[in-house]
Chain A
Amino acid sequence: MSAHSAAARVGSGRGSRWTLRALGLGFLALLLVAPLVMIFFKTFEDGLMPPLEAITSENGLKALKLSLLMVAIAVPVNTVFGVVCAILLVRHKWKGNALIDAVINLPFALSPVVIGLALYLLYSTNGGWFGPTLSKAGIEVLFSVPGMVLASIFVSLPFVVRETVPVLQEIGTEQEQAASTLGANAWQTFWRVTLPAIRWGVAYGVVLTTARVLGEFGAVTIVSGSISGKTETLPLFVSKQFDGFNEPGAYGASIVLALLALTTLLAMNLLKRKEDA
């Protein structure tokens, strides 16, 4: 970057530089930093015990387990899909690619509540397209784990594709061609050449997917019914504790989610650096 070689720089006047800094950083302090500090402050206001008790309560632990189960299912499923879909979009011309691309962006733009409602209407045992049939077969989707998994998959579907596509475009095809010229078959080329080259992009997508699944609230709240100890993930637990006037409980679960969010930010930064290197 030639930032310092520029003879004249906009905003380099002392007054305007400090004004911009004050405006930008002040906005960030009030909107991002203060809330983050506040979570920690409120959680430990009355000592370590109340939040600890809340999160180690039976329902708190069950919520934590269910959140982890969502991650364990939705993340691998969307990762495999994401990599396959990215390869198809980048390396295989097809008329349908533009459409696939458009559909993949939908979950970004849709309200989670609308997503939840769509699943709710589809799997409703009362007049949904799939609900009655599945119910007869003994599979309950709504107000149980399968519905929540579907909601988690829907909301977090685009991340791996979106992070992998640009990396695939960037690496080009020379090394892959070299590998196949040397006699590697498609699988060998994929595992030994392509995957190592795109791994940080995929990993970045996986981190974003995980964060989204852990934090998802709107879609899951509609399909789960939020039954304590049964269909309650951590964000639903936070909401329910708050509604039940158990603030320490709400903050206890929030602090777990906030720490996971900070870990996510850290991972995002490390991966971005690896990707750029």
Chain B
Amino acid sequence: MEANPAALPPSAASPRAGIRLPGVGVGIGRGYVVMYLSLMVLIPLAALVDKSLSSGLGNFWEQVSSPQAVRSLELTMICSLIVVAINAFFGTIIAWILVRDEFPGKAAVNAIIDLPFALPTIVASLTLLALYGNESPFGIDIAFTRAAVVVALLFVTLPFVVRAVQPLLIEMDREMEEAAASLGAGGFTVFRRIIFPNLIPGLAAGVALAFARALGEFGSVLIFAGGLPDTQVSSVFIRAQVESGNEPGAAAVSMVLLLASLLCLAAISLIQGWGSRHERSTGGTLVMPMAGEMPADSEGEEGDDERA
């Protein structure tokens, strides 16, 4: 924990020092990176944008505003909001007990948090159906309902908030809490006034990531919630349109999801920029793959300095 990358003085990684790309020139390396990203990511997305707009904005709007498309987008949006609210609450509690509590089996609990990152979504869907479908051992049958959509999304987005809040809790300075407590503040007051404000950047970034993931989730919803008109989230709707040959419809709704993803990424980037300006602890060391460190922290984005 002593080596926090965000705390390194910028000069430690001065651009002229250290390894140059071995063997090949920087120019060739850059060309390769730009080509690779263009071919793998940007050109396919450009094709999607082109296809969705190729028959005119009017047609695009017609596809997006068709009753089924609107219904699926509304359902996706509402379920995602519910899911991130629930996961923000439980995710913070879980991060809390993992950092501040001691109990047997804590290491195992910490390890299993990442299960949704590792388990294929279609497997998750199958087993959620077995658990909370008509053969449920708990007697809870929510299969093919909107509740199933929510549960499936809760499963896949669980790690985001936990992994974004955890490093902040680890690095948090305990002295302020102790001072507040010694001045007579109760446990809940200390949490509300001291701890929670410090967690907000991580919490916000985790929520934004979870929201982006929930908006586009497909596999985990498919078997468990199905594609009934009432439970058809946007990604399931898109696939149904592809299968029935309505490519413009699929492309139009995809454009909406693409824009929503871009907005989420922009939000995360703003939150992290804000967080690292106010408190240089957001680039913590325990940050998990898709959680906190997703957007470049200040050192990663050196190009910015030159532009400014």
* Residues of B close to A189: CB separation below 8 A: 19, 22
A100 contacts B191, CB within 8 Å?
no
A115 on the interface (CB 8 Å rule)?
yes
Whether B216 lies near A10 (C-beta < 8 A) is: no
The answer for the CA separation of A79 and B212 in the assembled complex, in Å, is: 25
Q: Is the beta-carbon distance between A28 and B94 smaller than 8 angstroms?
A: yes
Q: Given A32-B116, A239-B122, is A208 in contact with B289 using a C-beta cutoff of 8 Å? A: yes
Q: How large is the interface on B (under 10, 10 to 19, 20 to 34, 35 or more residues)?
A: 35 or more
Q: For chain A, what secondary structure do more than half of its interface residues adopt (helix, strand, loop), or is it mixed?
A: helix
Over the window 219-250 of chain A, the binary record of Cβ atoms lying under 8 Å from chain B Cβ atoms (1 yes, 0 no) is 00110000000000011001100100000001
In the complex, what residue of chain A is closest to B137 when comparing beta carbons?
Answer: A38
A113 to B177, CA, bound (A): 46
Given A42-B130, A172-B8, A95–B306 Cβ distance below 8 Å? yes
Q: Are A186 and B21 in contact (CB under 8 A)?
A: yes
In the complex the two chains form, is B296's CB within 8 Å of A239's CB? no
Chain B, residues 55-85, CB within 8 Å of chain A (1/0): the string is 0000000000000000000000000000000
Size band of the interface chain A makes with B: 35 or more
| A176 engages B18 (CB within 8 Å) | yes
* B169-186 Cβ-contact flags toward A at 8 Å (1 or 0): 010001001100110000
Tell me which residues across on chain B come within 8 A of A89, comparing CB atoms.
296, 300
Q: What is the CB-to-nearest-CB distance from B10 to chain A, in angstroms, rounded to a whole number?
A: 10
CB contact under 8 A between A163 and B289, given known A81-B36, A169-B8, A217-B121? yes
Asked if A254 contacts B34 (CB within 8 A), the reply is no
Given A20-B97, A115-B44, is A39 in contact with B218 using a C-beta cutoff of 8 Å? no
Binds B, one of A46-54, A55-63, A132-140, A258-266: A258-266
Residues 246-277 (chain A) with a chain B CB within 8 angstroms: 250-251, 254, 257-258, 261-262, 264-266, 268-269, 276
Q: Is the CB of B182 within 8 A of A114?
A: no
A32 in contact with B37 given A101-B301, A170-B3, A173-B13 (CB within 8 Å): no
Contacts of B36 in A (CB 8 A): 81
- A32: which B residues are within 8 A, CB to CB? 112-113, 115-116, 155, 158
Instruction: For the complex, give the distance between the alpha carbons of A6 and B181 in Å.
Output: 11
The answer to whether residues A27 and B48 also contact, given A32-B155, A35-B155, A105-B295 and a CB cut-off of 8 A, is no
Which chain A residues border B37 with CB–CB below 8 Å?
A: 100, 103-104
What residues make up the interface of A, taking CB atoms closer than 8 Å to B? 1-3, 6-13, 16-17, 20-21, 23-25, 27-28, 31-36, 38-39, 42, 81, 84-85, 87-115, 117-122, 128-129, 150, 153-154, 157, 159, 162-163, 165-166, 169-170, 172-173, 176-177, 185-191, 193-194, 204, 208, 211, 214-218, 221-222, 234-235, 238-239, 242, 250-251, 254, 257-258, 261-262, 264-266, 268-269, 276
- B: residues with CB less than 8 A from A are 3, 5, 8, 12-15, 17-23, 26, 29-30, 32-34, 36-37, 40-45, 47-48, 50-51, 90, 93-94, 96-97, 100-103, 109, 111-124, 126-128, 130-131, 151, 154-155, 158, 170, 174, 177-178, 181-182, 187, 190-191, 195, 209, 212-213, 215-219, 222-223, 234-236, 238-239, 242, 247, 250-251, 254, 257-258, 261-262, 264-265, 269, 283, 285, 287, 289-290, 293-297, 299-307
The 10 closest A-B pairs by CB, nearest first: A111-B216, A173-B18, A215-B120, A8-B181, A97-B303, A218-B218, A186-B22, A190-B22, A118-B44, A122-B47
| Known A39-B127, A106-B265; 9 more pairs at CB < 8 Å | A10-B177, A11-B96, A87-B19, A96-B34, A115-B44, A165-B300, A190-B19, A193-B19, A217-B121
A-B contact pairs, 6 of them (CB 8 A): A35-B155, A96-B30, A169-B8, A177-B17, A186-B19, A218-B239
